Chain A
Amino acid sequence: MDQTLPRAADAADDMADGALLVAYANGDTDAGRTMVRLLSPMLFGYATRVLGDRAEAEDVVQETMLKLWKIAPDWRQGEAKVSTWAYRVMANLCTDRLRQRRGGQVNIDDVAEPPADLASAVEVMTEAARSDALNAALQTLPDRQRQAVVLRHLEGATNPEIARIMDIGVEAVESLTARGKRALKAALAGHKEELGYSDDG
């Protein structure tokens, strides 16, 4: 299914292929503020879902935006979308963070496991609980699968965009998202009724 990709696509259009960034590089402070308002919510949503931690997400968003300001004077309009570039930087920073966790500072088992028991997360049939359950299940996925699934199904990126962001082929993206979805369904399998889909539905 090829869904509409509202958030990333709209922002990319609004940015007019880097025109704002060029304006910023020429001293337009309003262009800089506009870019922050366009890009940072998307980047923050992605980072929060991938890292599962708001404070860490803020760090990587901040770092990504600083890198963007740094390259602004050298930006060549029309060669790439600013949003794709930013997502790519962000994806690399998230990958670095996840690797650091595996490097012994944080036990990977602690990271990979859902922060709360999935059953308890979906006991209350509210939207918030469903969201918690989905995000908990997302945290059980391998890093690359989680990044691809978040980009494809939550951030609304197309497969070619994800391929550019993750620096892999489109087929690899399809494979990652397919395996990620299967793993998500497996993680949520025991909670069909709580999540609103049962065998008789």
Chain B
Amino acid sequence: MMDDPREDAALEALFQAERTRAPEISPEFMARLEAEAVAAIPKPAPQIRSAPRRTSWLAGIFTASGLSGAALAGIWIGFAMPESFDTLTLTADNSVSLTAFLPGADMGSLFDE
């Protein structure tokens, strides 16, 4: 058969000519491919915003609960055990006199030192 160098060269010449005659892609097909590329572009990852909202919402609940609890406790203490507390009194020389909050507790000793 053919290991003739001339035939090799001739075939290579055919290849070379053919490389310059690549099948042309139609503009319509090219446009379709570009449109598909744009349509298929990956969507950006969704931003996680619900979690912080939920956190702040929960924090609000806890804050409200804490405040309500403290208020209720204050009211209960004030009405249920008024005798347990002494009062802050304003003396004539505008100094504040702090007396024991709880009977029996030596609160004054805290300030002696």
Contact = CB atoms under 8 A, between A and B. Distances in A.
Interface of A: 1, 7, 24-27, 29, 32-33, 35-37, 40-41, 44-45, 48-49, 54, 57-58, 61-62, 65-66, 69-70, 72-73, 127-128, 130-131, 134-135, 153-154, 156, 181-182, 184-186, 188-189, 192, 195-197, 201
Nearest to A25: B42
B22 A131 contact: no
B15 interface: yes
25 contacts: A24-B37, A27-B41, A33-B34, A35-B37, A36-B37, A37-B30, A44-B25, A45-B22, A65-B33, A65-B37, A69-B41, A128-B21, A130-B17, A134-B14, A134-B15, A154-B18, A154-B22, A181-B11, A182-B2, A188-B11, A189-B2, A192-B10, A195-B10, A197-B9, A197-B13
A70 B41 CA distance: 9
Contact of A185 (B7, B18, B24, B29): B7
Main secondary structure of the interface of A (DSSP, over half): helix
A29 B11 contact: no
B36 A62 contact: yes
Interface of B: 1-2, 6-15, 17-19, 21-25, 29-30, 32-34, 36-38, 40-42, 44
Given A69-B37, A130-B14, A185 B23 contact: no
A62 B10 contact: no
Contacts of A44: 23, 25, 29
A94 B81 CA distance: 91
B4 to A, nearest CB: 8
Contact of A33 (B6, B22, B38): B38
Contacts of A1: 12
Given A29-B38, A33-B38, A128-B21, 14 more contacts: A24-B42, A25-B42, A29-B37, A32-B37, A41-B22, A41-B24, A62-B32, A66-B40, A69-B40, A156-B19, A181-B11, A185-B7, A186-B1, A195-B10
Nearest to A54: B23
Nearest to B15: A153
A24 B23 contact: no
A72 B42 CA distance: 8
Given A154-B15, A182-B2, A185-B7, A40 B38 contact: no
B33 A197 contact: no
A89 B69 CA distance: 68
A39 to B, nearest CB: 9
Contacts of B29: 40, 44, 58, 61
Contacts of B14: 130, 134, 188, 195
Contacts of A45: 22-23
Nearest to B28: A58
Nearest 3 CB-CB pairs, A to B? Answer: A197-B10, A32-B37, A69-B40
